[in-house]
Amino acid sequence: MNFVNAPVAVAFVDTPPAGLPRVERPEPAGCGYWKAASEGRSFYTTPEDHGNCAVGAYTHGVALTPAQGQEFQGLIGTMIELKYLKNEDVAALPHRESPLRIAAYSPLEKATFDPDLVVFRGTARQVMLLWEAAQAAGAYDGGVMGRPACAMLPQALKASTGVASVGCIGNRVYTGLDDGEMYMTVPGAKLAGLLENLGATLNANAELEKFHRQRAAALNG
């Protein structure tokens, strides 16, 4: 399956992986690192590199400074005022319980570290196929998340299963996510099972598409 944006390996570790450079400059949001890695770059980040997005810092387990905490509360307040979130949504927001020390990113095929998570970005059809392969491997529980997109990472870690996300408006701005694209994140430990089932999933869908097209033509003729 050909992705315009390469799948991204992500690892949360205590020390930088050997040979991996630190990111050159902080992104406006943590999800921007997914885009950078999908374009071919391998690097690591520190908590300081996640300071530009209070929501992303929170979901990733970054200890917020007083200024960031104020920004976070202000942004959440605005979202509630706009009826984008409810108070109870904030308490249920998935986040990493362990403090972030180092987050490593790389295109999956070039990763020199074992990924905790693999982030796929693709069309709805591509995510459908990944979903089916992951489900066949017992690596997906059927859940689909929305705002914020970065929350799917801690959710996938906590649940030890694949998680799909339709993204959020901030993510679409910072990553250039197309209107027809979405995400799926799979724990690194479940990746092999997904890939083992992907070939059969692709073949089955190709054959079933032929069947349904022929049937549709016959019934509409």
Cross-strand bridge partners of residue 183:
121, 165
Instruction: For 169, list phi and psi in degrees, rounded to 5.
Output: -65, -35
Q: What tokens were used for 100? A: 């972030």
Largest CA distance in the chain: 67
**163 neighbors 135 (Cβ within 8 angstroms):** no
Give the whole-number percent of the chain exceeding pLDDT 90: 67
Would you list the domain boundaries of the chain? 8-220
* DSSP helix/strand/coil, 4: coil
Could you report the per-residue pLDDT of 157-203, keeping only the tens digit for each?
A: 998 999 999 999 999 999 999 999 999 999 999 999 999 999 999 99
Contacts of 156 (CB under 8 A, 6+ apart): 117, 162, 163, 185, 186, 187
* Residues whose CB is less than 8 angstroms from the CB of residue 88 and which lie 6 or more positions away in sequence, other chains included: none
Among 123, 130, 144, residue whose Cα is nearest residue 202: 130
φ and ψ of 45, to 5 deg: -125, 160
pTM score, two decimals? 0.89
Digit-coded pLDDT (tens) for 115-143: 999 999 999 999 999 999 998 998 887 67
In this prediction, residue 201 carries a pLDDT of 93
Phi, psi dihedrals of residue 102, rounded to the nearest 5°: -135, 135
pLDDT of res. 215: 87
Token pair in block for residue 72: 């976070």
pLDDT at position 88 over 80: no
